[in-house]
Every structure is written in structure tokens, then in C-alpha cells.
């Protein structure tokens, strides 16, 4: 877990980790409120803030995969967004109680996402697009598969089931796909600056 695309000095590694940690923790708390304040609570963008939050979080996860050294640092960045999102209750609102059961799957899905980028793109130098597709499919398979298992065990009310089914499936794919574009751009910017 110590190979990176663009090696940084120890000082910049620490700064990078702190900035990514702050971003990935605060985004799920701040963005939904910001979108509500800017566009109104009933606007499409405010009621679907997961698209913005998920894209930013996945972009940070890709940046983590490509440029953060150390298992502890990576593990921290993988776990922070779900704790923040569920703790604030702003993204999943009344369904937040059911998303608590999803935390292990989200962590595992995020780990698979980061690990596959690291292993396939950073270490094995496989094409970024292929790595992105494999990483997204693995992440979504873990998260969505676990959600469907939880749905079989728990009696999730229909409106919440529909919302969570979308959030844990298609929305994960959409936000991760958009994040791959941003992640690619950030990777190119890192490469040019080093």
C-alpha cells in the first residue's frame, strides 16, 4: 500500500492526508445543507444530494488509491464518509436507521474500490478505464449485494426500500463513473505538478 502514482515528500503526504480527511468527512455533512440553502429544500439537486456527495467522496477515494501511502491512512479515508453521512442523517434522512446496517458493506466496498485501483492501476499499470470499470463493479457488487441481503432479513418499509435500493445500486454506479473522470483529471494534475 506504499506505491503511489506521484510520490510526495513526507510533509506534502501529511498535508494531502489531512486535506483529504477533512474533505471526505465534511462533504456528507455540509453539501446537503449547502444545496438546500442554495436551491431550496424541495429542489431536485437538494433532494438528490447523494449524486454530488457521492461523486466527491468517490473522487477522494480514487485520489486516495492513487496517492496516499500507508494502510492506516487509507483505512481512515475509507471509513470516514459513511460515518459522517449516517451520523449527520442529511443524505439518507429517514432511511438513515437502515443505512447503519450497511456500514460494514460500505467500508468493504470502498476498500475494494481503493484496493483495485491501487493494485491494478498503480502497481500493474493496467489501463485506467478498465481499472475504473472493474473497481466500480466490485464496489457496487459488495454494497448492493449486502443491501439485498439486509433487505431479506429486515422489514424495510416500501418507500425507504425503493430509495435505498437506488442509493446502494444505480446511484453508486453513477457517482463512481463521474468520479473516475475527476479522478483522472486530478491524477494528471498531480503528475504535472511533481
Q: Mean pLDDT in the chain?
A: 90
Say if CB 79 and CB 136 are below 8 A apart.
no
**CB neighbour list of residue 142: distance below 8 Å, 6 or more residues apart:** 105, 108, 109, 112
What does the domain layout of the chain look like in residue ranges? 10-193
Residue 110's pLDDT is what? 96
**Per-residue pLDDT for 29 more than 60?**
yes
- Would you give the end-to-end CA distance of the chain in angstroms? 20
Helix (H, G, I), strand (E, B) or coil at 62: helix
Residues 37 and 43: their CA atoms lie apart, in Å, by 10
Q: How far is CA 177 from each of CA 35, 81, 170, rounded to the nearest angstrom?
A: 21, 18, 11
Model-level pTM?
0.91
Residue 75's pLDDT is what? 94
Helix (H, G, I), strand (E, B) or coil at 78: helix
Q: How far is CA 32 from each of CA 119, 139, 190, rounded to the nearest angstrom?
A: 33, 23, 29
Gyration radius of the chain over CA positions: 17
- What's the maximum distance between 2 C-alpha atoms anywhere in the chain? 52
Angle at 66 between CA 132 and CA 130, to 5 degrees: 20
Residue 101's pLDDT is what? 82
**Per-residue pLDDT for 185 more than 60?**
yes
Model confidence over 49-94: pLDDT tens digits? 889 999 999 999 999 999 999 999 999 999 998 888 777 765 555 5
Residues 10 and 137: their CA atoms lie apart, in Å, by 33
HSE-CB for 25 with a 13 A CA cutoff = 9
CB atoms within 10 A of CB 33: 13
Chain CA centroid to CA 188, Å = 20
Say if CB 24 and CB 57 are below 8 A apart.
yes
Model confidence over 117-130: pLDDT tens digits? 999 999 999 999 99
Amino acid at each position: 500500500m506504499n506505491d503511489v502514482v506521484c510520490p510526495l515528500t513526507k510533509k506534502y503526504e501529511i498535508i494531502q492526508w489531512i486535506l483529504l480527511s477533512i474533505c471526505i468527512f465534511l462533504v456528507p455533512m455540509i453539501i446537503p445543507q449547502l444545496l438546500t440553502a442554495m436551491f431550496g429544500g424541495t429542489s431536485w439537486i437538494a433532494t438528490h444530494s447523494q449524486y454530488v456527495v457521492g461523486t466527491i467522496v468517490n473522487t477522494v477515494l480514487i485520489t486516495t488509491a492513487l496517492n496516499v501511502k500507508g494502510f492506516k491512512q487509507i483505512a481512515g479515508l475509507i471509513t470516514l464518509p459513511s460515518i459522517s453521512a449516517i451520523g449527520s442523517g442529511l443524505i439518507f434522512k429517514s432511511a438513515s436507521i437502515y443505512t447503519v446496517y450497511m456500514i460494514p458493506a460500505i467500508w468493504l466496498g470502498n476498500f475494494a474500490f481503493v484496493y483495485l485501483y491501487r493494485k491494478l492501476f498503480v502497481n500493474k499499470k493496467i489501463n485506467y478505464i478498465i481499472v475504473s470499470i472493474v473497481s466500480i463493479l466490485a464496489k457496487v457488487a459488495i454494497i448492493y449485494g449486502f443491501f439485498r441481503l439486509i433487505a431479506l432479513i429486515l422489514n424495510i418499509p416500501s418507500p425507504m426500500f425503493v430509495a435505498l435500493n437506488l442509493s446502494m445500486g444505480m446511484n453508486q454506479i453513477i457517482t463512481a463513473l463521474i468520479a473516475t473522470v475527476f479522478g483522472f483529471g486530478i491524477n494528471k494534475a498531480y503528475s504535472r505538478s511533481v
